[in-house]
């Protein structure tokens, strides 16, 4: 009898719960309870998978804190997908990684217990998840000293190579019009590697954050780049938010790479063919100039992609009116595994 009970408890309910959830989703959509249109709204429900996994582990009694953590994370992300997009901060969420250690400790302590110990474990788990969600929804940046960034270039320089590697945090990048100034702004925390190499006609600049990911400060960079010479720009960020206001820059090429978070890019009217944007999970918002021939190669995996109404899909490319692979003034390649990608015209 004990073996039968043990086998019963170990049975996975993920499949049945998944079928029930899918049925409820389509039923709610057909009845008009889910806002939005078509698959865009349905794809936003992907956090339901986390909730199902958590429920499955709870039913199978595979711990307490970890299943509740999955349910809490799924609920939080689900509310964010159908709420204000500014509610979530991926930088702050990543800083909460020690919650995983606490959840593991609670599971080891209360797993297999019964009675009031189980109730105590559930209460501790709920407090843990509730506190994490509260911290992730408010601004809890720790104050730190900002470091000034200021680099100039010679009068004969006519090309620049800029490489910015944040690692974890928030990057705001705009244009700088002061004559002879390559890059200026402020960054935090202070543990950064800065290198500049200048030849007669070209300058190369690299800025890298060397702070460990568990560092208590939220890294924040606010920088301006010169609009006087052509730029080859590379931006890398692991987790966080990146805002690139490039509409006034003379952009030769762009390589933007981010792991998880939000990426917002405003492109200039005149750019080269080399625009590459990569992201694993999150949202990508790209503003393109109006009245410019644009061709987009969207390798979107499980992501939803939105384009202006006048774009068409021709031979595997999303193109603006009158555009094809050959005559495009602006060619963009965007790659994302899971999330949401949107293109819009500059206003």
305-331 per-position pLDDT tens digit: 889 999 999 888 999 999 888 888 888
Residue 209 resides in a domain: yes
- The answer to whether 342 touches 303, Cβ cutoff 8 Å, is no
Residues 120 and 151 in one domain: no
| Residue 92 pLDDT class (50, 70, 90 cuts) | low
Residue of 216, 183, 184, 270 lying closest to 91 (CA atoms): 216
Residues 173 and 266 in one domain: yes
The domain boundary, picked from 136, 163, 181, lies at 136
Greatest distance between any 2 Cα atoms in the chain: 86
| Residue 297 pLDDT class (50, 70, 90 cuts) | very high
Residue of 346, 177, 154, 152 lying closest to 266 (CA atoms): 346
Q: What is the pLDDT of residue 272?
A: 59
3-class SS letters over the chain: CHHHHHHHHHCCCHHHHHHHHHHHHHHHHHCCCCCCCHHHHHHCCCCHHHHHHHHHHHHCCCCCHHHHHHHHHHHHHHHHHCCCHHHCCHHHHHCCCHHHHHHHHHHHHHCCCCCHHHHHHHHHHHHHHHHHHHHHCCCCCCCCCCEEEEEECCCCCCEEEEEEEEEEEEEEEEEECCCCEEEEEEEECCCEEEEEEECCCEEEEEEEECCCCCCCCCCEEEEEEECCCCEEEEEEEEEEEEEEECCCCCEEEEEEEEEEEEEEEECCCCEEEEEEEEEEEEEEEEEECCCCCEEEEEECCCCEEECCCCCEEECCEEECCCCCCCCCCEEEEEEEEEEEEEEEECC
Q: Greater confidence, 123 or 1?
A: 123
Residues 35 and 169 in one domain: no
Q: Which of 109-113, 143-147, 187-191, 335-339 has the lowest mean pLDDT?
A: 109-113
Residues 90 and 175 in one domain: no
| Structural domain containing residue 110 | 2-136
| Residue 276 pLDDT class (50, 70, 90 cuts) | very high
Residue 276 resides in a domain: yes
For residue 125, pLDDT beyond 80? no
Q: What is the pLDDT of residue 1?
A: 46
Residue 177 resides in a domain: yes
Q: Which residue has the tokens 């602006």?
A: 330
Residue 341, both tokens? 């990608």
For residue 299, pLDDT beyond 90? no
Residues 271 and 154 in one domain: yes
| Residue 181 pLDDT class (50, 70, 90 cuts) | very high
The total number of structural domains in the chain stands at: 2
Residue 36, both tokens? 């939005």
Q: Which of 21-30, 277-286, 318-327 has the lowest mean pLDDT?
A: 21-30
Q: Residue 307 phi/psi, 5° resolution?
A: -125, 160
Share of the chain above pLDDT 70, in %: 63
- The answer to whether 286 touches 268, Cβ cutoff 8 Å, is no
Residue 105 resides in a domain: yes
Residues 45 and 178 in one domain: no
Q: Which of 117-121, 168-172, 221-225, 260-264 has the lowest mean pLDDT?
A: 117-121
The domain boundary, picked from 88, 107, 136, lies at 136
What is d(CA 21, CA 345) in angstroms, rounded to the nearest whole number?
37
> In Å, how far from its chain's centre is CA 335?
13
Residues 106 and 238 in one domain: no
Q: What is the pLDDT of residue 216?
A: 46
| Residue 147 pLDDT class (50, 70, 90 cuts) | confident
Q: What is the pLDDT of residue 38?
A: 53
Q: Greater confidence, 339 or 139?
A: 339
Residue 142 resides in a domain: no
Q: What is the pLDDT of residue 96?
A: 63
For residue 7, pLDDT beyond 70? no
The domain boundary, picked from 136, 165, 182, lies at 136
Residue of 279, 272, 194 lying closest to 233 (CA atoms): 272
Neighbours of 23 (CB within 10 A): 10
Neighbours of 229 (CB within 10 A): 18
What is d(CA 207, CA 171) in angstroms, rounded to the nearest whole number?
12
Q: What is the mean pLDDT of residues 256-272?
A: 85
Share of the chain above pLDDT 90, in %: 30
Residues 240 and 94 in one domain: no
| Residue 218 pLDDT class (50, 70, 90 cuts) | low
Q: Greater confidence, 18 or 309?
A: 309
How does strand 294-299 pair with strand 271-288?
unpaired
Residues 301 and 168 in one domain: yes
């Amino acid at each position: 009898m004990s073996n039968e009970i043990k086998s019963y408890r170990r049975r996975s309910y993920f499949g049945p719960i998944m079928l029930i959830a899918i049925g409820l989703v389509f039923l709610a959509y057909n009845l008009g309870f889910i806002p939005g249109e078509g698959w865009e709204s349905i794809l936003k429900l992907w956090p339901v998978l986390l909730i199902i996994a958590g429920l499955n582990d709870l039913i199978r009694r595979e711990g307490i804190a970890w299943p509740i953590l999955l349910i809490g994370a799924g609920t939080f992300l689900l509310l964010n997908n159908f709420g204000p997009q500014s509610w979530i901060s991926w930088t702050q969420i990543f800083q909460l990684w020690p919650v995983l250690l606490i959840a593991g400790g609670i599971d080891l302590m209360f797993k297999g217990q019964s009675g009031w110990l189980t109730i105590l474990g559930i209460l501790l788990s709920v407090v843990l998840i509730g506190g994490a969600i509260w911290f992730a929804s408010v601004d809890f940046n720790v104050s730190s000293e900002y470091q000034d960034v200021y680099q100039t270039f010679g009068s004969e320089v006519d090309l620049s190579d800029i490489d910015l590697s944040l690692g974890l945090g928030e990057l705001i990048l705009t244009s700088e019009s002061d004559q002879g100034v390559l890059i200026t702004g402020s960054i935090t925390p202070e543990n950064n590697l800065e290198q500049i190499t200048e030849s007669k006609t070209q300058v190369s600049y690299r800025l890298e954050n060397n702070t460990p990911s568990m560092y208590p400060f939220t890294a924040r960079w606010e920088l301006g780049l010169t609009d006087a010479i052509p730029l080859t720009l590379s931006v890398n960020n692991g987790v966080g938010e990146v805002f690139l206001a490039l509409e006034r820059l003379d952009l030769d090429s762009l390589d933007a790479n981010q792991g998880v978070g939000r990426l917002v890019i405003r492109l200039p009217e005149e750019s080269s063919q080399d625009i590459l944007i990569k992201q694993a999970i999150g949202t990508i918002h790209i503003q393109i100039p109006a009245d410019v021939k644009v061709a987009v190669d969207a390798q979107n995996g499980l992501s939803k992609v939105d384009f202006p109404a006048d774009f068409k899909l021709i031979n595997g490319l999303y193109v603006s009116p009158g555009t094809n692979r050959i005559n495009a003034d602006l060619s963009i390649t965007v790659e994302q595994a899971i999330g949401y990608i949107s293109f819009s015209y500059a206003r």
